[in-house]
């Protein structure tokens, strides 16, 4: 009669190896999860930075247009376009409403999942007006 015992490998000094590799799988999954969260965090951080950059470009473009309002709307909007180009964004619109310059800019596409690039608009007018 042959008795069969559970199979186990014998390691050095007579110890049985009962490791089934589960810890390796759990560790690999944990590393993958942490890496995924880190990548998502970096991507969201990049989007926030891009949004702030576009908002700054819109603000500076509107201020540039408002500061050159005495030269006429065309020259003032050319100045806003110059500022936008130097900041790496595209001037979409530059228009006037009474004495206020209204500027809208857009950044190039982020290239992720077909999302459009961030855009922003700003308004600037003469100092001292409510």
Lowest mean pLDDT among 6-20, 34-48, 79-93, 97-111: 6-20
**Using CA of residue 36, residue 38, residue 44, residue 49, what is the dihedral sign?**
negative
Q: What is the pLDDT of residue 10?
A: 55
Whole-model pTM over 0.75: no
Q: What is the pLDDT of residue 109?
A: 77
Give the residue extent of every domain in the chain: 23-124
Cβ atoms within 10 A of the Cβ of 122, count? 21
Q: What does the block give as tokens for 18? A: 């009962």
- Residue-wise pLDDT tens digits, 79-128: 999 999 999 999 999 999 888 999 999 998 766 667 788 899 999 987 65
CA separation for the pair 125, 129 (Å, rounded): 8
SS3 11: coil
Beta bridge partners of 94: 103
CA torsion 36-41-43-45 (nearest 10°) is -170
Q: What does pLDDT average to over the chain?
A: 84
């Amino acid at each position: 009669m042959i008795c069969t015992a559970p199979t186990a490998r014998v390691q050095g000094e007579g110890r049985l190896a009962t490791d089934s590799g589960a810890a390796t799988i759990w560790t690999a999954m944990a590393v993958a999860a942490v890496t995924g969260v880190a990548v998502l965090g970096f991507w969201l951080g990049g989007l926030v930075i891009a949004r702030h950059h576009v908002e700054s470009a819109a603000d500076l473009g509107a201020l540039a247009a408002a500061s050159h309002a005495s030269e006429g709307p065309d020259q003032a909007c050319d100045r806003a376009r110059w500022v936008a180009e130097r900041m790496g964004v595209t001037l979409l619109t530059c228009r006037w409403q009474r004495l206020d310059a209204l500027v809208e800019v857009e950044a190039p596409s982020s290239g992720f999942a077909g999302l459009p690039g961030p855009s922003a608009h700003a308004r600037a007018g003469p100092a001292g007006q409510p």
